[in-house]
Structure 1
Amino acid sequence: MSDIIFYHPEPAPRTRHIRPVFIPFAGCPGRCVFCAQTAQTGVGPAALSERYSQLQKELQLAYEAGESPFELAYYGGTFTALDDMWQEKFIALGRQYRHKGLVTSIRCSTRPDCVDVAGLQRLHRMGLDTVELGIQSFSNDALTRSGRGYTAHTAVTGCRIVREAGLGLGIQLMPGLPGHSEGAFLRDVRTACSLGPDMVRLYPCLVFEGTLLASWWRDGRYRPWGVARASVMLGMALNTFWKHGIRVIRAGVAHVPSLAGKVLAGAYHPALGSMARGEALAGLVSFHTLMLGGKATELYAPRRFQGEFWGHRNTLVPRWARHGLGRSNVHWWDKSFFLLS
């Protein structure tokens, strides 16, 4: 075999913009060992009436300013555990601006142990389109040590309930939780794939100031994954999800001003997502070089991958060299496929 042609497996990216509405801790039955919603969202706890009034003003201003349409997303709390009145008011508000053309769709985040078919069908009829479940892991050990309060069976059942209710499904995983290994994370990925979500978010577990996990970290009872370890594992996960046609809409916690000085340890880096994509690309091309006996003489690759091919600060250069590839025999073109020889 002299030439191998292959394509990148990543599904086409979404084009809709998401407008997050944060309601930290609202509806949450307890506090997980890693939880730091105020730091992560930049929004402190507030009365739902206050947040609702604020959102009313924000949506009206956006409408009057002629902003581009967006998807409205209720994040940061356990939406389906709110009082029914508040669930309905927030969905109805989104539907009001959907009729005006400002909101394209509505989603919410919640826990897998706080969903039921009848309740989700009610919200679906009102205008809810997608539910993102904060699964975190399908490992009973990791779930127990993290204080999630539900089992792997509940996590799987929650995903199936969302589908049965006719809603889009998003799954959030948190690799590196207490009691979590690389093998457990890869099993989580395979389980998630078997449930057929529309999208996945991958947030490596971080140690935030003010959490129980911070105490464990200081006592030496918990050690989070570092950037190098996380980027490799995320890269493996990306390839698996992509091959199943599942979009990964986030890999790594976003760098935002509210997190300044709040992250004590863990895989927190502004380029983590890019590093993970580079690892995924390296895994993809390396797999095909094995068909050539492990060494390649030339590679033509789509130009859009040039920024991640060599890795962050050229960290992947030595790996490419082991496969016979370097800057002299890697070429960039405008075609959509890779050609390896």
Structure 2
Amino acid sequence: MEIRGDTGPAGRPLIIPIFIPHMGCPHQCIFCNQRAITGKAAQTPSPEQIQQEVNRFLKYGKKLPSTTQISFFGGSFLGLEKATILSLLQAALPFVRTNAVDSIRFSTRPDTISQETLGLLEPFAVSTVELGVQSMNDRILDAAGRGHRAADTVIAAGLLKARGYKLGLQMMVGLPEDDDDGAMETAHQIAALRPDFVRIYPTLVLKGSLLAGRLSGGSYHPMALASCVTLVKRLYLFFKSHDIPVVRMGLQASDGLTRANDFIAGPYHPAFGHLVHGEIVFDAISSALDRMEKRPDPLTISAHPSMVSRVQGLNKQNICRLKSAFDIKKIALLQDEYQAKDLLVVAEQQVALP
């Protein structure tokens, strides 16, 4: 059975997550404490547990006008034992056959992709595969303890694209020995692989990780939140200019990072993506104001209702920053449901958002 790409109406897929924490991973990456991320000890979910979880989600989850997928993540799926891979897929397949869900997806390491491992998937309704790329620089991969090379990612992406799978690539910023230029170079190489989507994760220091020891010893310094937001903004705009959707920015509470004691340091924010989008909007408004010979006060900004929170910024920080930077006493924010979402009107001037 072959299903490639989204099979339902247009829209982002509704994901039913099945955790396989830190399983199938032959290496302990310097940033990883998978138990902290998932809050669970490593164990293979049984077919009965998978069935119960999917049924629970289908019963209480809101059905959206999109595809619905069972997603195995938290470990390296194709790094599992063959019998385990087949057992997990066989537990998920009946939900596809009854049309309760549309397809199956998973995340895995680039060096687990081969003609042999992909051959295991052919009888099943797998549509989407995500690769934990992290970096396209071998020196940085070595420093992170990844145990694979950038070339493995290139080969894996080619194999997946050739078989028609929807391809997602995950990258990290703030890894040891990496910097902004290195992150941008990784982005360029990722874009050349033409993925269907990308996720961008900041490097966080988690309790029990090897990076926690580096932090306490003073040999690693995590990125500041503001600097990380600015870098990820650059990455987001780069991928957007290449028509590659960025579907996630930042590790969020919904990813399972729910225990406060597990997080030690790094650019974590529960609304990281909102911070990035807010900065993009701030830049666009600032550029418009810079071009004005005379700035009106009060200043009116019109936006689609769904864009109001981005214009305001988190806790209305954008409004405060604009007032301070341009010496404006009052800003009136107007909502216009007929206005395009990617268009603002700043003092009667149209401003297109990148």
User: Which TM-score applies when normalising by structure 2?
Assistant: 0.82
* Aligned residues of 1:206 and 1:265 also touching (Cα < 8 A): yes
The 1:327/1:129 distance shift into structure 2, 3 A limit, reads farther
Hey, what does 2:265 align to over in structure 1?
265
Hey, what does 2:241 align to over in structure 1?
243
Hey, what does 1:301 align to over in structure 2?
303
Q: What count of residue pairs does the alignment treat as equivalent?
A: 326
**Helix, strand or coil: the match of 2:331?**
coil
* Aligned residues of 1:121 and 1:166 also touching (Cα < 8 A): no
* Aligned residues of 2:108 and 2:132 also touching (Cα < 8 A): yes
| Structure 1 residue 73 displacement after superposition | 0.4
Distance in 2 (alpha carbons) for counterparts of 1:330 and 1:195? 41
Choose between structure 1 and 2 for higher RCO, CA contacts under 8 A separated by at least 6 residues: 1
Hey, what does 1:223 align to over in structure 2?
221
Aligned ranges 1:29-40 → 2 under 5 Å:
29-40=26-37
The 1:243/1:331 distance shift into structure 2, 3 A limit, reads farther
1:338 partner amino acid:
L
The 1:303/1:122 distance shift into structure 2, 3 A limit, reads same
Hey, what does 1:98 align to over in structure 2?
96
Hey, what does 1:278 align to over in structure 2?
278
Hey, what does 1:155 align to over in structure 2?
153
* Aligned residues of 1:207 and 1:214 also touching (Cα < 8 A): yes
| Structure 1 residue 272 displacement after superposition | 1.7
| Structure 1 residue 118 displacement after superposition | 4.5
| Structure 1 residue 278 displacement after superposition | 0.8
Distance in 2 (alpha carbons) for counterparts of 1:239 and 1:66? 32
Moved more, 119-128 or 23-32: 119-128
Distance in 2 (alpha carbons) for counterparts of 1:117 and 1:285? 50
Structure 2: stretches of 5+ with no match in the other structure: 1-9, 350-354
* Aligned residues of 2:230 and 2:276 also touching (Cα < 8 A): yes
Distance in 2 (alpha carbons) for counterparts of 1:19 and 1:79? 16
- 1:12-46 residue CA offsets vs partner (Å, 9 max, x unmatched): x9442111111112111111011111111122111
Q: Equivalent of 1:23, from 11, 17, 20?
A: 20
Hey, what does 1:3 align to over in structure 2?
none
- 1:36-57 residue CA offsets vs partner (Å, 9 max, x unmatched): 11111122111x3x53331133
Aligned ranges 1:113-124 → 2 under 5 Å:
113-124=111-122
1:45 partner amino acid:
A
* Aligned residues of 2:301 and 2:331 also touching (Cα < 8 A): no
| Structure 1 residue 124 displacement after superposition | 4.3
Name the Cα RMSD after superposition. 2.7
Distance in 2 (alpha carbons) for counterparts of 1:127 and 1:32? 30
Aligned ranges 1:162-201 → 2 under 5 Å:
162-201=160-199
Q: Equivalent of 2:53, from 58, 74, 81?
A: 58
- 1:44-89 residue CA offsets vs partner (Å, 9 max, x unmatched): 111x3x5333113333455677974731000011111122222222
Distance in 2 (alpha carbons) for counterparts of 1:66 and 1:300? 35
User: Which TM-score applies when normalising by structure 1?
Assistant: 0.85
- 1:106-126 residue CA offsets vs partner (Å, 9 max, x unmatched): 101001111014532541442
The 1:262/1:61 distance shift into structure 2, 3 A limit, reads closer
- 1:176-212 residue CA offsets vs partner (Å, 9 max, x unmatched): 0111101111222222222222221111000011111
* Aligned residues of 1:138 and 1:156 also touching (Cα < 8 A): no
* Aligned residues of 1:299 and 1:325 also touching (Cα < 8 A): no
Aligned ranges 1:201-216 → 2 under 5 Å:
201-216=199-214
Q: Is 2:83 the partner of 1:77?
A: no
2:48 partner amino acid:
S
Moved more, 187-196 or 130-139: 187-196
| Structure 1 residue 216 displacement after superposition | 0.3
Distance in 2 (alpha carbons) for counterparts of 1:314 and 1:184? 32
* Aligned residues of 1:301 and 1:332 also touching (Cα < 8 A): yes
Distance in 2 (alpha carbons) for counterparts of 1:193 and 1:283? 24
Hey, what does 1:314 align to over in structure 2?
316
The 1:309/1:126 distance shift into structure 2, 3 A limit, reads same
